[in-house]
Amino acid sequence: MLIRFGYEILFDLPAPTPFVLLLSPHPSVSPRLIHPEKLQVEPEIPCRGYIDDFGNHAIRMDPPAGPLRLFYNATIHDSGIPDPVVPDARQVPVSELPNDALQFLLASRYCESDLLADTAWKLFGNSQPGWGRVQAICDWVYENVEFGYEHARNTRTAVDVYNERKGVCRDFTHLAVAFCRAMNIPARYCNGYLGDIGIPPDPSPMDFNAWFEAYIGDRWYTFDARHNMPRIGRILVCRGRDAKDTAMTTAFGLANLAKFTVWTDEVKQSTVQQDHRTLAVR
C-alpha cells in the first residue's frame, strides 16, 4: 500500500532563533520513500543535515525573527502488514545483549526505571520472561492509565504517570519503557506517524505518535502501550532513550507555535502521480 504523510508547522519568532529538527523519516525507512519528497522552509534559509548519536536524521537551521513555516509532504511504500507478534520470543540475558542495547537498560530523564524497579518486579515478576513480560507491561499500562489530550504535560515522567494514572501517548510509552528496563529488558522510545489505517477513524486531529521497541528474541520488536494492538502503517521518525532525545523541534530561544497540522493517510497510485505532477509544476 501507499501512505501519504507530512506536516505543516508555523512559528512566530520574536528574535533570530537556532533550531534543531527531528522531523525527517528515519534513515531505515528512507529506501521505501517515493520521491520527490522535500522539506519546505519559509523564508528560504540554509539547512544543515546530520545523523545524531541515535541514528536519527536531524536538521539544523537559523531562521530570522518573524514567521517560520515548515512544510513536508511525502509518500511511502508500506507492506500493509500489522506489527509482528512473536509470543515465543525469549528474554535475552544481560550478559548476552549486544553492546549498543545496554544503554537502553538505564534510567533516563523521563524513564526513572531505578525508582520503579520494586514496583515493576511486584507487578510483573511472575509474568513469562520475554514477549509475555513485555505484553503484560503493555496490558497493565493500557488498562491503568487514562488517555486524554487534556492531560498533556511536557514535564511528566514515568513516575508521575504511575502516580497520576493519566497522560498522552508519550506518557504511556515512558511508563512502559521504564518498567521494561527495570525488568532488564532493553527498551527504546520511538516517535513517528501512525494513521487510522485498518481501524475506525479517530475524530481527533492527527498528531505524531509515540511507541517503543523492546529487545527480545535477539532483535528489536515494536510495542505500543497506548493502543495495545498490532497496527498498520507506522512510519518511524526517530528513536532515543525517551522524549528528550526525540523532540520534534528544539528552539534555542522563544518560539511561539501558531499552527500544527499532521496527516497520515492511505492513498492510491493515481493520487501520488497527481501530487508529483503538482510538485513538478511548482
198 located within any domain: yes
Contact 20, 59 (CB under 8 A): yes
Report if residue 87 sits inside a domain: no
pLDDT at 270: 58
58 versus 270: the higher-pLDDT residue is 58
Whether 240 is covered by a domain: the verdict is no
For 20-33, what is each residue's pLDDT tens digit?
999 999 999 999 99
- Which CATH number covers residue 19? 2.60.40.2250
- In this predicted structure, the answer to whether residue 195 has a pLDDT above a threshold of 50 is yes
Does 223 lie in the same domain as 132? yes
Closest by Cα among 226, 232, 231, 196 to 211: 226
- pLDDT bucket at 203, cuts 50 / 70 / 90: confident
Q: Supply the pLDDT for residue 268.
A: 85
Share of residues in the chain with pLDDT > 70 (%): 95
The total of structural domains in the chain comes to: 2
76 touches 33 (CB < 8 A): yes
Helix (H, G, I), strand (E, B) or coil at 231: coil
No. of helices (H) and no. of strands (E), the chain: 5, 14
Mean pLDDT of 254-261: 97
Q: Are residues 56 and 180 in the same domain?
A: no
Which residue, among 98, 60, 34, 46, has the nearest Cα to 271 in the 3D structure? 34
- Domain membership flag for residue 86: no
Query: What is the domain-level CATH number for residue 199?
Result: 3.10.620.30
